[in-house]
């Protein structure tokens, strides 16, 4: 059986080596590209996790990737957004002034310290470290096996912003770091997003990716 094809979208910033390598280890063919025809014929698309929101949006715009991406998503292409990539699926981010994301999921991206703070004297930002992911919603179809598999596992987080979805059903899992709880996995139909870096989360991360590529 031929290998499935993953296209990793390139915002021109940071280390794509690890996520490419982790994905290859899961048995998919990996291509880093912004070419619309590559995007269209891919089995999976991945929005990687490094860089700043506004720079990534600018880069997507400059490379004319926004419309091909939105079309692919509307047509049911299986998409994974990691960290920044997950945040890009939403409507707006306040990082470095307001910037518009792809808007395929409703809601905003906000600083983690604004998210939910109860009696915590100092919450250190960025949130760096290994935290547990707790399943909240089943997630329909494609995403339910991925979320079942990762419930209770520890993953690596490194972020200063979190997503604030308008529809709570989209939150498949949450994570608590100190006293702050935030969405760690979101998903709807063909879309899946994770705030952590599966390519940096050891065995648990590789397992998460394997489950994604199996759907």
Partner 1 sequence: MCRKNFRLVARLDVKGANLIKGVQFEGLRVIGKPNDFSLKYYEDGADEIFFLDTVASLYERNNLSSIVRAASDDLFVPLIVGGGIRKLDDAVIAFDSGADKVALNTSAIKNPLLIESIAKRFGSQAVVVSVEAKKRSNLSEWEAYTDCGRERTGRDVVKWVSQIAEHGAGEVLITSVDKDGTKSGPDLDLIDAVSSDIKLPLLVGGGISSFEDVQKIYNFGRVDGVVIGAALHHGIVNIEVLRKQCLSQGMVLRKR
Check binding of 113 to partner 1 (CB under 8 A).
Answer: no
Check binding of 178 to partner 1 (CB under 8 A).
Answer: yes
- 151 vs 154 by CB, closer to partner 1: 154
- 35 vs 130 by CB, closer to partner 1: 130
* Stretch 118-157 residues interacting with partner 1 (CB under 8 A): 120, 122, 124, 126-132, 154, 156
Selected from 31, 66, 136, 158, the binder of partner 1 by CB under 8 A is: 158
Q: Pseudo-torsion of CA 78, 10, 199, 86, nearest 10°?
A: -60
Check binding of 205 to partner 1 (CB under 8 A).
Answer: yes
46's tokens: 């991945």
Check binding of 62 to partner 1 (CB under 8 A).
Answer: no
Selected from 4, 35, 38, 51, the binder of partner 1 by CB under 8 A is: 51
Closest distance to partner 1 from the beta carbon of 21 (Å): 6
CA nearest neighbour of 53 among 88, 80, 86, 81: 88
Check binding of 66 to partner 1 (CB under 8 A).
Answer: no
Catalytic residue, from 83, 95, 194, 210: name it: 83
- 75 vs 118 by CB, closer to partner 1: 118
Beta sheet of 171-177, edge-to-edge order: 29-32, 5-8, 44-47, 78-82, 191-194, 180-188, 171-177, 134-135
Place of tokens 């929101």: 53
Which neighbouring-strand residues pair with 78?
44
Q: What is the per-residue binding string for partner 1 in 3-42, x denoting contact by CB under 8 A?
A: ----------xxx-xx--xx--------------------
Q: Which stretch binds partner 1 (CB under 8 A): 138-146, 163-171, 187-195, 197-205?
A: 197-205
Q: In the complex, which residues of this chain contact partner 1 (CB under 8 A)?
A: 13-15, 17-18, 21-22, 50-52, 55, 84, 120, 122, 124, 126-132, 154, 156, 158-160, 176-179, 197, 199-203, 205-206
């Amino acid at each position: 059986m031929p290998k499935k094809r993953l296209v990793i979208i390139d915002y021109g910033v940071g280390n794509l080596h690890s996520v490419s390598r982790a994905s290859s280890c899961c048995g998919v063919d990996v291509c880093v590209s912004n070419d619309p025809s590559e995007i269209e014929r891919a089995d999976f698309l991945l929005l990687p996790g490094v860089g700043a929101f506004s720079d990534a949006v600018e880069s997507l715009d400059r490379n004319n990737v926004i419309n091909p991406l939105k079309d692919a998503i509307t047509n049911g292409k299986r998409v994974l957004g990691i960290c920044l990539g997950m945040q890009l699926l939403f409507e707006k981010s306040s990082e470095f002034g307001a910037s518009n994301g792809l808007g395929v999921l409703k809601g905003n991206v906000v600083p983690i310290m604004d998210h939910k703070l109860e009696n915590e004297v100092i919450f250190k930002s960025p949130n760096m470290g290994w935290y547990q992911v707790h399943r909240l919603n089943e997630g329909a179809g494609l995403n339910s096996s991925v979320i079942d598999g990762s419930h209770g596992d520890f993953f690596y987080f490194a972020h200063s912003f979190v997503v604030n979805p308008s529809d709570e059903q989209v939150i498949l899992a949450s994570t608590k770091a100190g006293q702050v709880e935030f969405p760690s996995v979101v998903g709807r139909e063909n879309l899946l997003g994770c705030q952590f870096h599966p390519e940096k989360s050891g065995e648990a991360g590789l397992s998460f990716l394997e489950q994604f590529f199996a759907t």
